[in-house]
């Protein structure tokens, strides 16, 4: 018989000898027959039945939020017979007549004042023998069996017939029987009916007349005590057991007659699938519980009012609170006061929810010990089918340590920047302080060599000049390396003649090569364009370092420089640069480290040849700045080869055809009037000697910025050589004065800056002032002359 379960549900509960109630959202309550018979009062409003505040709150929350945990609550009440009774109520959500929001309450009587059995009156009926299968009291089923003569030796009927006579409708429609057994007090099977005996390789007849010991050889220790407990103690026994590798639910009930128990009714239900499902669910729950509790993140749920509806138990390890303390409290109760103000401001500025517009948040939360911890959180809003916000689910991470690390990193960065600035300032000062006297030494050597000295004097002057320039090279290496490391070098893009660049470098080493009797050769591919666009100064620096090293580390033999064209198109040309020598070579294990700063091939090299070990480090970084990669190969005692490939833009040769080689022009400045602003006395003497040698008509020397400005206002000049580092007023201030002067002639006067600082350090300031040109100390006299005549119109 297939009856509608929604109609039959409460009819079924009506037959059960335990209290059942049904509550709907209209606050009405429905009682089964047992309740109406057993309880003194059965009010229409469930609140009058459950007067306990805690139960009322849980049920109200369910109808308000449709959230109901499975709850079990014990209540004491008075029954219809004037006795106090304790009932354990289990309340669960059910669907009844298509209403999903109903609650079913199942009561279990756990004690009565007189510990007696239930009143028998109306409940000693046929239908109650198996009524709900959860009854904990022995029924008087034996009455019915004897009356119907169903259990006589002459007429032993099947269990199916017995059950049919008991309550045909209930058993057929509501009780999921699997295997049912009737066992007498001698522990023999009287009847057996089931739908899966075939799975065991048996049938119902195999049980009849057999004892428990004969049937159950492997799990007798589980089944026999259960049956004996039901017969001897009138107990209801319920347990889970494994039989034939499957999980079963065993229920054993006593069958009473005339005050004694003659039989036990056993019901064995195959629950293997649901048991496995429960175990899997349990394992899954345990896994996720462990995952949540051991997680390094706190999982939480908020209402739109920032009320915490859920927080994972691991909150204790981060903030010291038990999760029960925090649940139902507001997030803002734990916020740092400053962060609370920020939250308030955000909520004022935004009309919509803060959680919707700020998915990622950072804030400080108060630990139970009073300290504040920094957290970051992100999550999302959950909405119902209508688009209304239900709650906010998120995760929070303790980032206190990361914030402390960031703060320390910030301070360390500040200190590093300060140290870098101090280093730069120190190097700038050192540059000025060292290069200024070096300017005088090298300049004086140039002057003396141009005054036709004796051969022995010339040799000494060349040695002096070489030593001074070598010392200057070491200083430049240190300063340039520092600038390259800090990323302060940018390549220029100007036209230059590559032949001129290399010939000048080779020519500058003629003396050293002649001393060692080395053969220095330069070979350039004739198809390489004469004029290229690039940075000749930095290319010279690379070539100069490599040529210098080759000559320094080669005692005899050769030094070869070769330039080969790799490819050429309309706009670009790629050139391979090779520097070979027959010197001491480099050990194979040193080839990788030879380009490291302050590194040389060996300590013997340092002692014998000197140097800072910065030359090749600078070369490598400059080649990489050009976009190339330097490669070295070497044979110890057999020489070495350095090579790299660089790409340059091409320029028409006509660019240089109309240019005048200024160095070759006769050095005659007899009509020029030049102002020199220089505070160093030795440099004043040296510059004055060169200007007099070049025939400058009038030279005015000033010691500081104030004197320079006074001279400018009182006299006309064709050009000013302006030192940038001067006391009182420096060269930058004098330059600003000139460029902002009311007199057009003064305002347009050419300015050539003289400084021991590198162009990179002062270029932006010089451009801002409008300085025409720049020459670094110590300077080459030819370069100075070329720059002067470039800006003087005679």
We report the CATH number of the domain holding residue 66 as 3.30.450.20
What distance separates the 2 farthest-apart alpha carbons in the chain?
155
Per-residue tokens: 502:
């290399």
Same domain membership, residue 410 and residue 392: no
176 touches 196 (CB < 8 A): no
Stretch 391-415: mean pLDDT: 88
Check residues 91 and 534 and name the one with the higher pLDDT. Answer: 534
Cross-strand partners of 263: 184, 255
In Å, how far are 590, 688, 695, 716 from 698, measured between CA atoms? 58, 10, 9, 11
Instruction: Give the pLDDT of residue 644.
Output: 94
Check residues 645 and 596 and name the one with the higher pLDDT. Answer: 645
Instruction: Give the pLDDT of residue 124.
Output: 36
In a domain, 473, yes or no: no
In Å, how far are 458, 462, 559, 779 from 453, measured between CA atoms? 6, 11, 31, 22
Cross-strand partners of 33: none
Same domain membership, residue 524 and residue 436: no
Q: Tell me the residue ranges of DSSP E strands in 226-347.
A: 237-243, 246-257, 260-270, 297-302, 308-311
Same domain membership, residue 260 and residue 138: yes
All residues at 6 or more sequence positions from 715 whose CB lies less than 8 Å from its CB, including other chains: 673, 675, 700
* Domains identified in the chain, total number: 6
Instruction: Give the pLDDT of residue 91.
Output: 80
Same domain membership, residue 450 and residue 303: no
**Confidence band of 156 (pLDDT split at 50, 70, 90):** very low
| Residue 146 pLDDT exceeds 50 | no
In Å, how far are 315, 343, 364, 373, 397 from 400, measured between CA atoms? 15, 20, 9, 6, 9
Instruction: Give the pLDDT of residue 722.
Output: 92
In a domain, 316, yes or no: yes
What are the b/e assignments for 568-580, b being 16+ CB within 10 Å?
Answer: eeeeebbbebbbb
Instruction: Give the pLDDT of residue 676.
Output: 94
In a domain, 287, yes or no: no
Instruction: Give the pLDDT of residue 378.
Output: 84
**Confidence band of 62 (pLDDT split at 50, 70, 90):** confident
DSSP for residue 198: G
739 touches 768 (CB < 8 A): no
Stretch 45-64: mean pLDDT: 80
| Residue 655 pLDDT exceeds 60 | no
Instruction: Give the pLDDT of residue 446.
Output: 76
pLDDT digits (tens, 9 = 90+) for 780-794: 777 788 888 888 864
Stretch 359-378: mean pLDDT: 88
Q: Cis omega (within 30 of 0) on the bond before 778?
A: yes
Number of residues in the chain: 794
Same domain membership, residue 257 and residue 314: no
Instruction: Give the pLDDT of residue 629.
Output: 92
Instruction: Give the pLDDT of residue 353.
Output: 61
Instruction: Give the pLDDT of residue 568.
Output: 92
Same domain membership, residue 141 and residue 168: yes
List helix spans (H) across 450-535: 455-485, 498-508, 510-516
In a domain, 776, yes or no: yes
Same domain membership, residue 751 and residue 630: no
Stretch 417-424: mean pLDDT: 76
> Of the spans 148-157, 195-204, 441-450, 546-555, which averages the highest pLDDT?
546-555
Instruction: Give the pLDDT of residue 3.
Output: 36
Instruction: Give the pLDDT of residue 349.
Output: 63
Boundary-marking domain end, from 215, 245, 275: 275
Same domain membership, residue 215 and residue 248: yes
Same domain membership, residue 528 and residue 437: no
**Confidence band of 661 (pLDDT split at 50, 70, 90):** very low
- Residue 117 φ then ψ, to 5°: -85, 175
**Confidence band of 105 (pLDDT split at 50, 70, 90):** confident
Instruction: Give the pLDDT of residue 474.
Output: 60
d(CA 88, CA 73): 6
Global confidence as pTM: 0.39
Percent of the chain with pLDDT over 70: 75
**Confidence band of 20 (pLDDT split at 50, 70, 90):** confident
In a domain, 188, yes or no: yes
In a domain, 481, yes or no: no
In a domain, 342, yes or no: yes
Same domain membership, residue 160 and residue 105: no
Stretch 467-481: mean pLDDT: 64
Boundary-marking domain end, from 76, 99, 117: 117
Instruction: Give the pLDDT of residue 633.
Output: 87
| Residue 315 pLDDT exceeds 60 | yes
**Confidence band of 142 (pLDDT split at 50, 70, 90):** very low
Residue closest to 575 by CA, chosen among 512, 640, 626, 639: 626
- CATH number assigned to the domain comprising residue 775: 3.40.50.2300
Residue closest to 558 by CA, chosen among 567, 573, 547, 568: 547
Same domain membership, residue 513 and residue 582: yes
pLDDT digits (tens, 9 = 90+) for 237-296: 888 888 777 888 888 888 765 667 778 888 888 888 888 888 888 887 777 777 766 677
Check residues 326 and 6 and name the one with the higher pLDDT. Answer: 326
Instruction: Give the pLDDT of residue 630.
Output: 92
Least confident span in 68-77, 328-337, 481-490, 657-666: 657-666
Instruction: Give the pLDDT of residue 483.
Output: 61
735 touches 751 (CB < 8 A): yes
What are the b/e assignments for 430-448, b being 16+ CB within 10 Å?
Answer: ebbebbbbbbbbbbbbbbb
Same domain membership, residue 257 and residue 304: no
Task: Quote the crossing angle between the two packed helices 455-485 and 615-626, to the nearest 10°.
Answer: 60
Secondary structure percentages of the chain, helix, strand, coil, to 5: 45, 25, 30
Boundary-marking domain end, from 624, 657, 690: 657
pLDDT digits (tens, 9 = 90+) for 546-587: 998 888 888 888 999 999 999 999 889 999 999 999 888 887
Mapped onto helix, strand or coil, the DSSP state of residue 450 is: coil
**Confidence band of 201 (pLDDT split at 50, 70, 90):** confident
In a domain, 477, yes or no: no
Structural domain harbouring 245: 124-275
| Residue 5 pLDDT exceeds 90 | no
Stretch 374-392: mean pLDDT: 83
pLDDT digits (tens, 9 = 90+) for 581-623: 988 888 777 777 787 754 444 445 444 444 445 678 888 888 9
Instruction: Give the pLDDT of residue 218.
Output: 78
Please provide the average confidence, as pLDDT, over all residues in the chain.
76
């Amino acid at each position: 018989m297939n009856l509608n379960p929604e109609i039959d549900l409460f009819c079924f509960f009506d037959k059960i000898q335990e209290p059942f109630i049904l509550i709907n959202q209209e606050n009405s309550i429905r009682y089964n027959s047992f309740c109406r018979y057993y309880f003194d009062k059965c009010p229409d409003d469930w609140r009058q039945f459950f007067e306990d505040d805690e139960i009322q709150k849980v049920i109200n929350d369910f109808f308000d939020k449709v959230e109901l945990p499975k709850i079990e609550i014990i209540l004491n009440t008075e029954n219809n017979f004037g006795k106090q009774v304790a009932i354990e109520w289990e309340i669960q959500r059910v669907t009844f007549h298509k209403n999903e929001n109903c609650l079913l309450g199942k009561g279990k009587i756990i004690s009565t004042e007189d510990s007696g059995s239930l009143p028998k009156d109306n409940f000693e009926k046929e239908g109650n023998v198996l009524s709900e299968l959860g009854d904990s009291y022995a029924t008087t089923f034996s009455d019915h069996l004897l009356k119907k003569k169903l259990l006589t030796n002459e007429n032993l009927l099947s269990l199916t017939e017995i059950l049919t006579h008991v309550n045909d409708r209930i058993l057929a429609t509501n009780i999921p029987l699997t295997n049912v057994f009737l066992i007498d007090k001698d522990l023999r099977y009287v009847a057996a009916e089931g739908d899966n005996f075939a799975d065991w390789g048996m049938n119902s007849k195999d049980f009849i007349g057999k004892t428990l010991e004969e049937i159950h050889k492997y799990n007798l220790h589980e089944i026999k005590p259960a049956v004996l407990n039901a017969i001897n103690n009138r107990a209801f026994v319920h347990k889970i057991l494994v039989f034939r590798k499957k999980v079963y639910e065993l229920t054993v009930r006593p069958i009473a007659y005339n005050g004694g128990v003659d039989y036990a009714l056993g019901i064995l239900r195959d629950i293997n699938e649901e048991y496995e499902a429960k175990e899997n669910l349990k394992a899954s729950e345990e896994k996720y519980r462990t995952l949540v509790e051991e997680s390094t993140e706190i999982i939480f749920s908020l209402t739109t009012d920032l009320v915490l509806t859920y927080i994972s138990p691991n909150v204790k390890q981060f903030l010291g609170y038990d999760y029960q303390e925090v649940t139902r409290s507001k997030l803002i109760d734990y916020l740092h006061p400053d962060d609370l103000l920020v939250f308030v401001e955000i909520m004022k500025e935004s009309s919509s929810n803060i959680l919707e517009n700020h998915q990622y948040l950072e804030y400080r939360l108060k630990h139970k010990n009073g300290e504040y911890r920094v957290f970051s959180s992100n999550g999302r809003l959950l909405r119902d089918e209508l688009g209304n916000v239900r709650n906010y689910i998120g995760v929070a991470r303790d980032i206190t340590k990361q914030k402390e690390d960031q703060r320390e990193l910030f301070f360390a960065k500040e200190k590093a920047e300060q140290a870098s600035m101090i280093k730069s300032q120190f190097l700038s000062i050192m540059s000025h302080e060292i290069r200024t006297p070096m300017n005088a030494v090298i300049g004086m050597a140039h002057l003396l060599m141009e005054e036709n000295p004796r051969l022995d004097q010339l040799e000494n002057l060349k040695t002096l000049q070489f030593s001074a320039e070598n010392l200057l090279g070491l200083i430049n290496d240190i300063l340039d390396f520092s600038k390259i490391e800090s990323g302060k070098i940018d390549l220029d893009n100007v036209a230059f003649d590559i032949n001129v660049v290399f010939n000048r470098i080779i020519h500058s080493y003629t003396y050293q090569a002649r001393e060692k009797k080395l053969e220095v050769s330069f070979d350039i591919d004739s198809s390489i364009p004469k004029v290229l666009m690039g940075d000749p100064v930095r290319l010279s620096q690379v070539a100069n370092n490599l040529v210098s090293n080759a000559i320094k580390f080669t005692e005899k033999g050769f030094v070869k420089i070769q330039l080969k064209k790799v490819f050429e198109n309309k706009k670009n040309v790629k050139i391979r640069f090779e520097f070979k020598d027959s010197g001491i070579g480099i050990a194979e294990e040193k080839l990788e480290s030879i380009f490291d700063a302050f590194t040389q091939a060996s300590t013997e090299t340092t002692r014998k040849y000197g140097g800072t070990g910065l030359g090749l480090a600078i070369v490598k970084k400059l080649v990489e700045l050009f976009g190339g990669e330097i490669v070295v190969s070497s044979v110890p005692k057999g020489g070495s080869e350095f090579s790299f490939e660089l790409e340059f833009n091409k320029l028409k040769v006509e660019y240089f055809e109309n240019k005048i080689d200024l160095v070759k022009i006769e050095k005659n400045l007899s009509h020029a009037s030049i102002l020199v602003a220089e505070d160093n006395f030795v440099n004043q003497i040296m510059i004055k000697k060169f200007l007099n040698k070049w025939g400058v008509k009038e030279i005015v020397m000033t010691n500081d910025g104030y004197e320079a400005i006074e001279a400018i206002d009182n006299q006309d000049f064709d050009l000013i050589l302006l030192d940038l580092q001067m006391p009182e007023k420096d060269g930058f201030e004098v330059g600003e004065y000139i460029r902002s002067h009311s007199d057009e002639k003064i305002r347009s006067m050419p300015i050539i800056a003289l400084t021991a600082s590198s162009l990179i350090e002062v270029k932006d300031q010089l451009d801002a002032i409008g300085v025409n040109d720049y020459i670094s100390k110590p300077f080459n006299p030819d370069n100075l002359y070329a720059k002067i005549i470039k800006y003087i119109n005679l």
